[in-house]
A and B are shown apart, each in its own frame.
Chain A
């Protein structure tokens, strides 16, 4: 049975002054609050976040930009390691963050499917099983054997979407709902996302689109300045 249990989750990291002669323009890899103690600056990207999700739950993450939504998704995915608290996840976690990541301009669409599959952790057999469906869904036809750089933006987006949504996730993390291509493909993509969401055990979706969250989610977790503000049933949150 898939589940996520986060207990007093926190992420604080030190902003390291890089030893460099270049001008110091510092980017924060995650949002949150900056606190200065002497000459040391710390960013609290998450603090005291606790929640539990069971199979069938669809959690909407809401909050202003920099509130910690993406950070929480990346902690759940394992990119960031929490510095406080624990997160216990039962089930395979898949994420749709940057679906175009790692595409190679010189390689064909077919080769890009293979490479992207390997990066996703698919075995050669899994790639072989899925490749025909991916090609068919992407509607690329004979273009699949041409270099990726020859694709239009819409074609590239269709291929990226088809690969990214070709698995059956147990736990699916999404930073905004994804879509791709021209209007007819967008309908198809919307249906695919719906099916995927239905099959997934748990979905965690960060979005500013309240209509989408109301339609998709049964629970809402609201973050404010890296802290948990509300964790409640979606109906309750939207009534406020």
Chain B
């Protein structure tokens, strides 16, 4: 109980300091593109280049009529998840001087990264919508389920960041392990191949938790239906992530400073 109280104290203080992490996140995005002519529009171009390459190289709209929309939505979610997870691992190491020199709650750093990732994803989302428009995907009321799915992913983001950031602080090699796993994950997750299928591909489709985060956003757009089972699985994963994150935060928030 004391562990959870400690975690909630950090989280509530961090949320109250939203002006800090919102300002820092905006500066981070600005700094990354300050000298470029196109600025953050590069985030949109990067997404379009990536999605365009997948559609042109692997495109098969004859056997799979919604292939362009399938790749556009799947890639959008996958790129977001990859970025959040790989940046989380080194989060507390990057914030070392702040953690050693200020009393800011750890939640401030977590929300700073969440905010950065959401801003970046906003540009990619514009690209995703443009591709869907280009592919003549019908706009239906079921798209609202995709909006709910995106909200669910955003809610899961701080929890996932906390879990990976704490793990990364104690286990620095995790950074390289996760980078490689996420690279391999692009092929083991149904980003551009269609599941479930049989054999090993079917197993990867069913047992890969990322599959369900892609499907809750993708299915309402492509099939105009509410993906009940994927939503249920994602809700359980999000709940589990938050419980784990709260426990880890409560246990380690005052110990992180000694392992950096």
A84-108 CB mask vs B (1 if < 8 Å, else 0) is 0000000000000110011010110
Pairwise interchain contact A29-B27, C-beta atoms closer than 8 A: no
Q: In the bound complex, what is the Cα–Cα distance between A121 and B20 (angstroms)?
A: 8
A-chain residues with CB within 8 Å of residue B20 when the two chains form the complex: 118-119
Extra inter-chain contacts (14) besides given A19-B171, A106-B34, A124-B19, CB under 8 Å: A16-B170, A19-B170, A21-B173, A22-B172, A29-B100, A29-B257, A78-B103, A79-B103, A98-B97, A101-B102, A106-B30, A118-B19, A119-B20, A121-B17
Q: Which of A18, A107, A115, A124 contacts B259 (CB 8 A)?
A: A18
Interface residue ranges of A99-132 to B (CB < 8 Å): 101-102, 104, 106-107, 111, 114-115, 118-119, 121, 124
Pairwise interchain contact B101-A20, C-beta atoms closer than 8 A: no
Pairwise interchain contact A101-B170, C-beta atoms closer than 8 A: no
* Interface presence of A81 (CB below 8 A): yes
CB distance from B249 to the nearest CB of A (A): 14
* Interface presence of A167 (CB below 8 A): no
Q: In the bound complex, what is the Cα–Cα distance between A72 and B170 (angstroms)?
A: 25
Interface residue ranges of B50-109 to A (CB < 8 Å): 97-98, 100-104
B-chain residues with CB within 8 Å of residue A22 when the two chains form the complex: 172-173
Q: In the bound complex, what is the Cα–Cα distance between A111 and B17 (angstroms)?
A: 18
Q: In the bound complex, what is the Cα–Cα distance between A214 and B194 (angstroms)?
A: 76
* Interface presence of A80 (CB below 8 A): yes
B-chain residues with CB within 8 Å of residue A29 when the two chains form the complex: 100, 257-258, 260
Shortest Cβ distance from B6 into A: residue: A81
Pairwise interchain contact B27-A104, C-beta atoms closer than 8 A: yes
* Interface presence of A185 (CB below 8 A): no
B245-260 CB mask vs A (1 if < 8 Å, else 0) is 0000000001101111
Shortest Cβ distance from B35 into A: residue: A106
A-chain residues with CB within 8 Å of residue B103 when the two chains form the complex: 77-79
CB distance from A114 to the nearest CB of B (A): 7
* Interface presence of B243 (CB below 8 A): no
Q: In the bound complex, what is the Cα–Cα distance between A148 and B248 (angstroms)?
A: 38
Q: In the bound complex, what is the Cα–Cα distance between A115 and B22 (angstroms)?
A: 11
A-chain residues with CB within 8 Å of residue B31 when the two chains form the complex: 104, 106-107
Q: In the bound complex, what is the Cα–Cα distance between A79 and B255 (angstroms)?
A: 10
* Interface presence of A238 (CB below 8 A): no
Q: Which of B17, B23, B171 contacts A18 (CB 8 A)?
A: B171
Shortest Cβ distance from B260 into A: residue: A29
Q: In the bound complex, what is the Cα–Cα distance between A179 and B259 (angstroms)?
A: 31
Q: Which of B23, B101, B170 contacts A79 (CB 8 A)?
A: B101
Pairwise interchain contact A16-B101, C-beta atoms closer than 8 A: no
Pairwise interchain contact B97-A115, C-beta atoms closer than 8 A: no
CB distance from A177 to the nearest CB of B (A): 18
Q: Give the top 8 A-B pairs by smallest Cβ distance, nearest first.
A: A81-B254, A78-B103, A118-B20, A19-B171, A98-B101, A13-B258, A106-B31, A101-B101
CB distance from B31 to the nearest CB of A (A): 5
Q: Which of B34, B98, B171 contacts A20 (CB 8 A)?
A: B171
Pairwise interchain contact B30-A79, C-beta atoms closer than 8 A: no
Q: Which of B254, B257, B259 contacts A16 (CB 8 A)?
A: B259
CB distance from B24 to the nearest CB of A (A): 7
Q: Which of A21, A79, A98, A106 contacts B257 (CB 8 A)?
A: A79
A-chain residues with CB within 8 Å of residue B172 when the two chains form the complex: 18, 20, 22
Q: A22-B173, A29-B257, A118-B19 are in contact. Are A102 and B98 (CB under 8 A)?
A: yes
